Structure 1
C-alpha cells in the first residue's frame, strides 16, 4: 500500500551534513558576540559584557535602548490588537502621524515606506511622475552629487557614489547621473527639458560625514527653482534631531520639494517617509505607488511618540550643546595623539579621519567595550543616541583615545 506519510518539498540536512554557510546571508561582517539586551546607551552580550553604543543602530535608536516612553507606546499599540491592515484601509495612527508632519513641515502630504532606501526609490518615482506632468516627455533624469549615499536598491544604488557597491551590479538603473558638488557643473547638467530632480544629503553620512556647504545648498535651491527641477533632500541619517534642529535643512534656510526620512523615526522599528509639497502631491494618483506594510498602525503609533520627543526644544538644545562639546573633545584627541587628519560634523553626527584603517581602531575599541562604525576606509563615524550625556560620552572618548594610541 502507498505510504500516507506527508511529503515535504525539501530534504533536511543530517548532522553529518552541516551547512558551510551561516543561516543569515553573509552580506554583513558581524562581530562575534551575541547581543541579548539593551538599556539606555548600552548594549549587553550573552556573557554580560557591557558596551557603550556610539552607533545607535546607525543613527536609529536616538532615544536609546529600552526607553520607557517607546516601550509604553509599543504596548499601547499592541493592546489594540490592530498590528496590520494594509493601506487599503484607514487607521488612526497613520493619519495622526501624517497630519503631525504636515503641521510641522513644508509638506502637504506624506507617503510612508519601510526604510530609507524605499523612501528614496519612491521619491525618484514621484519626481518622474511630476516631471511628465510638466509636458516634457523627456524630463526624467535624477541628479546626485559626489560623495552621495542614497541606498542599495536599483535606483538608489545608481545615485550612490560608492564604486565598490555599484560595480558588482552593473548595469544600474538608467537616467541617473552623479556630478561634482559644484554649482557651475550643475548649471550645465540641469536641462529643464530633461532633468526631473536633484537629490542631496545636507550631511553626507556614508560619504565620510561631510557637511555640505550651506551656500552650495542655497544656490542649488535657487538653481532648481529657476530650471523647474525638483529638489529632494535626503535626511535619512542627518534628520530628525541629529544635527540639533528637527530637520537638518532648517539650519540652512531652504525648503525642499521632497524630503526623505527614516532611521530614527520609530527608534528601531522599520519605517520611512517621503514628505512632498503640494505641487508633487497633486500629480500622484491611486496606483502610482504602493506598500504593503508602510505606515501600519503599530509603527505609526510609535513613530508619533518618537517625533514628538525628538522635536522637543529641550532635546534639540541638548543635542546642540552636547554635540559642540563632543566635537571639541574629538579635536583634543586629535591634538594629543597626532593620529587624526580631520574632524567634521554637527550636532551628534561626527566623522574623524584617521591615519590607519578605521576597522583596526573599531576592533580595538570593541574589545574595550565601545561600539563604533566607519564611514569609509579611514573615517570613524560617531552617531550616539541623542539622549546621551557628557559623562557617558567622556567614558567613550577615553576608550577611543586609548584605541587610537594603541
Structure 2
C-alpha cells in the first residue's frame, strides 16, 4: 500500500510539473501581431529549407514540400519559414487553416486543463469516450450541421477518411433497402468473406465526375479523377462510372441527361460531388445543376454525398458551399424552406478548416447494426475541441460575413487588373481562382509569388487558386494584388 501511495504521489507531482510547463510553454515568445508587409531575405525555399528537405528525404518522402515553416514565428495571415522569410499566406496549408497562425483564441484554449489529457493519451472513442465528447458533438459540432442532417460521424483526421466512411454508409443503406430492412442472411455473411456476391455487392457502384478529387485512400481514389499520378499503378473499382462535369450552363442539360441514364442503367449506391471541383481546377456549375442532381438521386434512390472537405467552413462566403444550391429559391415565398430541405444532400463530408474530419448525415444512413462504421480512434477529442473554438470564433467575429466582403473586394480588383495573361477569374467569397495560359507559366508564377513574399496555390493544369484564412482582410488583399501585378509584369 505504501508503494502504491508513493507511486500515486509521483504521478500527481509529474502531472502538475507537466501542466505548469505546458501552461508556460513559450507562449510569451509567440508573435502578437502580423508584420506590416512580407519580408523576403532568401529565395523560397531557402538554404535551410533545402537542407532539411535533403535530410528528410533520407528517411521519408520530402519531394512535395515547398518550404519548411517556423511555427514559433508565424502569426495571423503570415507564415514564417526557417530561413527567416515572412510570407503572406493565401494558401494556408492547402486550405486547411481557418484562423491563420497562432490565433489567440486557440492558444488560450490549448493551455486549458481540458486539452492536456487528450494530448497525453488519445482515446479509442468507439470503445470508451470521455464525457465531454458528448457535449462537444451535441453543442459544438452539431451547431454547424447542414440543414436536414441530424447526425454526425467523426473520423480519423483527413478528408479521405470521411469520404471512405460516407461511401460505406451509402452502400450499407442501399443494401438494407434492397433487403427490405432485414438483417444480412447467413449466405451473405459467408460469401462476403470471399469478396463474392451476394454478401459483397460487387455490381453496386458509386458515380463521380471528371476532374473530381475525393481523397487518395483506396476506395475514395476510385472516385478521384483530378490527376493521373494520383491513380496510376493502383487497382480501382473499374465499373464505377465517371461522368462529365458541365463546361458551361448551356452544357448542364446534356450532363444531367447522362446522369439520369447512368442512374437508371446501373445499380448505384451513391453519387459524390464537390460544390466546387477544387483540386481539379476550381470548376463551377450553376445551382440549378446541383438541384437537378438532387432531384435525380431522390428519384432513383441514390445517396447524394456532398464533399465539402475543401469548400466547407466559410471560405465561399457561406459556412457550407452547398447552401448556394438554394439560390433562386430564397424569394419564392411559402414553401421555400421545404424546397431547400429537399435539395439538401444526404451526407456532407468535412475536414481541412474544421481541423477534424467526419461527415454529417440523415438518420436513415445510420447502419442498423453497430460496429459497421468504426475504427480504433473514431475521431479525436483534441481536434474536436479545436474545432469548437474555431466554430465559436467564426460566429463571434462574423468571419463568414467578412469573407463575403473581402471576397467581393478581391474579385472586383482581379477583374479590374484586366491583365491579358489572367483568364477566367471565378469563385465565391475568397475561394477564388484564375487561369494562366499554360501549366509552365502557372508553375513559374507560383514560384515567383513565393519569392516575392506571397503564397498561393495551383489546381488543375493551369489554374492559380487562392485559399486564404477567414481572417484575411482587404489590406492583405491589397498586398496580394500588388505582388500579383509585379509578378505578372515579369512574365510578359
TM (norm. structure 1) is 0.88
Deviation at 1:169, TM superposition (A): 2.8
**In 1, distance between residues paired with 2:87 and 2:116?**
35
**In 1, distance between residues paired with 2:462 and 2:136?**
39
SS in 1 for 2:426: strand
Asked if residue 199 in structure 1 is aligned to residue 284 in structure 2, the reply is: no
User: Which residue matches 1:319?
Assistant: 403
**In 1, distance between residues paired with 2:103 and 2:431?**
21
Asked if residue 218 in structure 1 is aligned to residue 302 in structure 2, the reply is: no
User: Which residue matches 1:339?
Assistant: 421
**In 2, distance between residues paired with 1:55 and 1:34?**
13
**In 2, distance between residues paired with 1:92 and 1:348?**
38
Q: Is the 8 A contact 2:282 2:460 kept in 1?
A: no
User: Which residue matches 1:285?
Assistant: 369
SS in 2 for 1:38: coil
| Shift in CA distance, 193/204, structure 1 to aligned 2, threshold 3 Å | closer
For these two proteins, the number of residue pairs brought into alignment is 381
Spell out, residue by residue over 1:255-294, the C-alpha distance to the aligned partner (whole angstroms, 9 max, x if none): 111100000113xxxx20111101102x253221223334
Structure number with higher helix proportion: 2
**In 2, distance between residues paired with 1:21 and 1:77?**
34
Asked if residue 107 in structure 1 is aligned to residue 145 in structure 2, the reply is: no
Rg larger for: 2
**In 2, distance between residues paired with 1:66 and 1:346?**
26
SS in 1 for 2:354: coil
Asked if residue 248 in structure 1 is aligned to residue 321 in structure 2, the reply is: yes
**In 1, distance between residues paired with 2:96 and 2:316?**
14
Asked if residue 348 in structure 1 is aligned to residue 425 in structure 2, the reply is: no
Q: Is the 8 A contact 1:94 1:297 kept in 2?
A: yes
Unmatched segments (≥5 aa) in structure 2: 1-53, 180-197, 246-254, 327-342
| Shift in CA distance, 109/394, structure 1 to aligned 2, threshold 3 Å | same
The two structures, once aligned, show a CA RMSD in angstroms of 2.2
Deviation at 1:176, TM superposition (A): 2.5
| Shift in CA distance, 382/243, structure 1 to aligned 2, threshold 3 Å | same
Spell out, residue by residue over 1:138-190, the C-alpha distance to the aligned partner (whole angstroms, 9 max, x if none): 57311111221101111111111124234423321345321113110010111
TM (norm. structure 2) is 0.73
User: Which moves more between the two structures, 170-179 or 82-91?
Assistant: 170-179
| Shift in CA distance, 107/96, structure 1 to aligned 2, threshold 3 Å | farther
User: Which residue matches 2:456?
Assistant: 372
- Superposed, 1:18-37 pairs within 5 Å as 22-23=57-58, 25-26=60-61, 28-32=63-67, 35-36=70-71, 37=73
User: Which residue matches 1:39?
Assistant: 75
| Shift in CA distance, 91/169, structure 1 to aligned 2, threshold 3 Å | farther
**In 2, distance between residues paired with 1:102 and 1:21?**
40
Deviation at 1:119, TM superposition (A): 0.3
Q: 1:263 aligns with which of 352, 368, 372?
A: 352
**In 1, distance between residues paired with 2:209 and 2:132?**
36
Q: Is the 8 A contact 1:119 1:260 kept in 2?
A: yes
- Superposed, 1:42-191 pairs within 5 Å as 42-76=78-112, 80-83=116-119, 84-87=122-125, 88-99=127-138, 100-105=140-145, 106-113=148-155, 114-135=157-178, 140-181=204-245, 182-191=255-264
Structure number with higher strand proportion: 1
